[in-house]
Amino acid sequence: MTFERRNLEGLEQNFAAIIEYIMKSINKLQQKWGVGQVQFWLIMTTFALGGSLSGYLNKQILNLVFLEKNAAYWLIYPLLLTILWPISVILVSFLTGQFLFFKGYLGRIWGRLTGGAGASPIHVAIFASGAGSNAKKIIEYFENRSSRIKISLIVCNVPGAGVLEIAKSKGIPTLMINKTEFASTGYVESLHNADIHFIVLAGFLWKVPEVLVNAYQPGMKIDSSMVNGKTNTAKGIINIHPALLPNYGGKGMYGARVHEAVVAAGEKETGITIHWVDAHYDEGDIILQKKCGIEHTDTPSTVAQKIHLLEHQYFAPTIEEILSK
Active site residues: 241
Surface-to-core class of residue 237, CB atoms within 10 Å of its CB (0-12 exposed, 13-18 middle, 19+ buried): buried
| Burial call 210-221: b when 16+ CB within 10 Å, e when fewer | ebbbebbeeeee
Q: Is the dihedral of CA 165, 199, 28, 143 positive or negative?
A: positive
Phi, psi of 188, deg, nearest 5: -60, -45
